[in-house]
A and B are shown apart, each in its own frame.
Chain A
Amino acid sequence: MANLSIGEGFIFTLLRLRNYVEPMGLLNDVASRGASGAKKIVGSRGSKPPRYSAAGLIAKGLRGESWPRVWRDVPLRSAYDVIIVGGGVHGLATAYYLATNHGITNVAVLDKAYLGSGGSGRNTAIVRSNYLTPEGVAFYDRSLALYNSMTDDLNINVMFSERGHLTLAHSDSALRTMHWRAEVNKLQNIDSSVIDPQQVKEIVPSLNVSSDAHHPIAGALYHPPGGIIRHDAVVWGYARGADHHGVEMHQKTEVLDIVCTGGEGPDGKGRGGKVTGVRTNRGDVSAPIVVNCTAGWATLISDMAGVRLPITTQPLQAAVTEPVKVFLPAVVVSGSLHVYVSQTDRGELVFGAAVDPFTNYNVRGSLDFTEGLAGHILELMPGVSKMRLLRQWAGLCDMTPDYSPVMGFTPVDGFLCDVGWGTYGFKAGPVAGEQMAECIATQRTPKLIEAFKLGRFEAGRLVGEKGAAAVGH
């Protein structure tokens, strides 16, 4: 196990120094530093960009002006202090907190497509913190807190709708698991309790709570702080915030290889090695730290550094209906029926389900998914049979054996992971970014993610969320 934590001994002097010596004048610092190859920052924010506000909207509306770019479009440079692979919520949040909490701004976020094109833009935007294990609860509770203040922090309305989250139980054993979660939650001061079918009906009148349903509702875990959020706004908000601090976002920039030296594998990769940079479709870029935030593509990226991960990739499908007048006030999840549903402010029902039954990297979506989904939804809410499914899509999930992430250092020095999020990635984005930033900046594993280290698999100490997996989302 000792050899798995090599990265923690590594001291990143430059970053540390800058962090402590000059935490404020960040842009100047980045721009003046020749060592990392930064000559001149093209398009760097000269002054603070205008804040979003109603007054601003009116002023711009009157003058017919457009807003400045949400993030700059700048050339890719040849060196950075940190390269983050994957421009989703996790990668962008990591960059944002590196800049804001630690003053590390010579950072590039690379995405092979456009920002938010992976799971961040494909999830069903549910947030909650009523997990099963104390580790999970503490972690997601921090995430929920960050989501709660995000509109203010990022100055973009992420439209967090704290509407309550219901996880239905259709059997005694499911109800027992709900009680288990509720009790763990309560002991950590999370608002979470088990309610009976009548209370379920009062909160969500469209649910069929009759006992002669095929899968009668035996009760539910009710979590009032859970809700939905506008996922794209979270992506754009972090990107905009990171950009304000000098972080660069590079879209259509695909990492083709990770360059290492000294490792026991081919080309200096693997255990004992050290990262020196990445090869991309737009040229080579050097960096002493490379962070893998690529969800479904996680093993493909980590393979480039010679690091094997306990991850399989399985699509998670979702779908949306045409809009109708709003009738569903809360997020409803049924683990045993493999479905979750919420209604957007636009009136669409947004559905998700369980991951596909076999590994693959295909996001085309299947008919079986929509059939199963509709059947299960109608068992729960027979009144919606005439609503129409408008669109279906899929995202790639990085599934781990214990339904918990892999975070922090790896056996390759300078190569860090924030992956293995399975179906929970979006909920965790803010806290994952915050903790990864701390991990990079301090070169120590923060306590909140101690349980999620890669080494736990080789040590045989899995995280207990496995028990709650069946009732996920």
Chain B
Amino acid sequence: MLLVPCPYCGPRNSSDLRHVGEAISRPDPNAASPEQWRSYLYLRDNVADWNVETWYCTRGCRKYFKVERNTATNEFRDPPMPGNKIGGKA
């Protein structure tokens, strides 16, 4: 159960939120080419690294917010729970 840093409520269990997906911007609907529009619909960076994404605080403040998460480690930037870091030799 991730601890998601909601900027309004504070750290919350991920079950209280909904992961919306990678933060994407909407092309101009009247000017976009099919390639641009369908990139917007279907293509995602899907990196195994830091990524900006949108969450919705369903059970809490009901705000959409953007947050940076490392999809390889599930660590949030400036995490609400310090100390998850894994270091070198014990």
Contacts and interface: CB of A to CB of B under 8 A. Distances in A.
Interface in B31-60: 34-35, 38-39, 41-48, 53
Interface in A339-373: 357-362, 366-368
Contact of B43 (A308, A358, A359, A368): A308
Interface in A271-309: 297, 299-300, 308-309
A120 interface: no
A473 B3 CA distance: 30
B34 A458 contact: yes
B24 to A, nearest CB: 12
- Which of the four size classes fits the interface of chain B? 20 to 34
B42 A310 contact: yes
A310 to B, nearest CB: 4
Contact of B19 (A297, A358, A457, A460): A358
Interface in B13-33: 14-15, 18-19, 21-22
B19 A359 contact: yes
Given A308-B39, A367-B1, A357 B46 contact: no
Contact of B74 (A309, A310, A362): A362
28 contacts: A297-B48, A299-B45, A300-B47, A308-B39, A308-B43, A309-B43, A309-B46, A311-B44, A312-B44, A312-B46, A313-B71, A358-B14, A359-B22, A359-B46, A360-B69, A360-B72, A361-B48, A361-B71, A361-B72, A367-B1, A368-B1, A368-B15, A457-B38, A457-B42, A457-B43, A458-B35, A458-B38, A460-B34
Interface of B: 1, 14-15, 18-19, 21-22, 34-35, 38-39, 41-48, 53, 69, 71-74
**5 shortest interchain CB distances as A-B pairs:** A358-B19, A310-B42, A299-B46, A361-B48, A360-B71
